[in-house]
Amino acid sequence: MQPLVLYEHWDPLTSRMTEVTVDEETGLPLIRHTQDYKPIVASAKRLASNFDKHIHPKQPFTHIARIPTLEYLKLVKVGINRDARAMLAYLDMREARQFRVDDGRRLI
């Protein structure tokens, strides 16, 4: 049996989907967010292929990663986004490598 959908919203710009359904066991609303990471990862790969490590030291800021919204919200929940060192450690992890737009060197 299909769950009863109370609300559904698709944002084509960010590839995010929000869906509110009724949980069959408890009868409470269940909110589910999903996002297609493929366009973001493809964009990060294109930017990484154009990264010039010789220009990097001369710039005051360097674009390091393109993190999808849902992934960033997970980082907010656990508090990683508030700690610069933890954020750099996260970006060095294998799971986050796909979001990197630089040359992939170790950050810490």
The pLDDT confidence band at residue 51, using thresholds 50, 70 and 90, is confident
Torsion angles phi and psi, residue 50, rounded to 5: -100, 0
How many whole angstroms from its chain centre is CA 83? 17
Do residues 66 and 103 both lie within one domain?
yes
Which pLDDT score, from 0 to 100, does residue 3 have?
79
The yes-or-no verdict on residue 59 having pLDDT over 90 is: no
Which pLDDT score, from 0 to 100, does residue 36 have?
95
Do residues 46 and 32 both lie within one domain?
no
Do residues 31 and 41 both lie within one domain?
no
Do residues 50 and 9 both lie within one domain?
no
Do residues 50 and 64 both lie within one domain?
yes
The pLDDT confidence band at residue 70, using thresholds 50, 70 and 90, is very high
Cα(7)–Cα(20) distance, integer angstroms: 5
Give me the mean pLDDT over the 64-87 stretch: 95
Do residues 50 and 1 both lie within one domain?
no
Residue 18 pairs with which residues in a beta bridge?
A: 9, 33
Q: Cβ of 99: how many Cβ atoms within 10 Å?
A: 22
Model-wide pTM > 0.75: yes
Give me the mean pLDDT over the 14-29 stretch: 93
Do residues 41 and 18 both lie within one domain?
no
Which pLDDT score, from 0 to 100, does residue 50 have?
86
Do residues 55 and 94 both lie within one domain?
yes
Question: How many domains does the chain fold into?
Answer: 2
Q: By residue range, what is the domain housing residue 77? A: 37-108
Contact 34, 69 (CB under 8 A): no
Residues in the chain: 108
